[in-house]
Amino acid sequence: MEAVDMKVLFDEGHQGMRMNYYPPCPQPELAIGLNSHSDAVGLTILLQVNEMEGLQIRQNGIWIPVKPLHNAFVVNIGDILEIVTNSIYRSIEHRATVNSERERLSIATFYSPKLDGDMGPAPSLVKPERPALFKRIGVADYFKGFFSRELRGKSYVDAMRI
């Protein structure tokens, strides 16, 4: 893709941060820490603070644990990168489970375009043989829509499809 398409979108971009605390749960099989979702953002950088297992990604319908690595971040592709790359990159569906042994902490940092612009598939990636797969939408409206829905797999990026 043309670098300028990425620059236009992420210059003066928006950074958010979420700290997650999952207390131990006596019946973890009946509970979930964080429902299955993909991050609505461009890119996520995540630290599994106390190196407890719990994060899982979904690949071909199977949940796979992401074992914490000492001093390592997890980098997730979010829905905005899926939209901007016109589905060349796919956002990753993930969830956090709980356990009965020990609390778990994670810190996620989210990188997104500036809120006062709009976004859609990068012009340099839209071609007659590969037309746009997603609508263009204002970034603020996009996030408003995301936060007004329940977290459910990749349902929001699917709602952005043409």
Q: Tell me which residues in 13-52 interact with Fe ion (CB under 5 A).
A: 39
- For the stretch 15-39, what's the b/e string if a residue is b when 16 or more beta carbons lie within 10 angstroms of its beta carbon? eeeeebebeebeebeeeebbebbbb
Under the criterion CB under 6 A, does residue 108 sit at the interface with ligand AKG? yes
Under the criterion CB under 6 A, does residue 102 sit at the interface with ligand AKG? no
- H-state helical runs in the chain: 3-10, 79-84, 139-147, 155-159
> How many residues at the interface with Fe ion, by CB under 5 A?
1
Closest residue to ligand AKG using C-beta atoms: 106
The listed partner (ligand AKG, Fe ion, none) that binds 20, CB under 5 to 8 Å by sort, is ligand AKG
Contacting ligand AKG (CB under 6 A), which of 77, 80, 81, 96?
Answer: 96
Under the criterion CB under 6 A, does residue 92 sit at the interface with ligand AKG? no
Calpha distance 142→118 (Å, rounded):
9
Within a 10 A sphere around the Cβ of 150, how many other Cβ atoms?
A: 8
> What's the sign of the alpha-carbon dihedral 124, 134, 110, 34?
negative
Query: For ligand AKG, what does the binding mask look like between residues 25 and 54, x meaning CB under 6 A?
Result: ---------x----x------x-x------
Footprint on this chain of ligand AKG (rule: CB under 6 A): 18, 20, 34, 39, 46, 48, 55, 94, 96, 106, 108
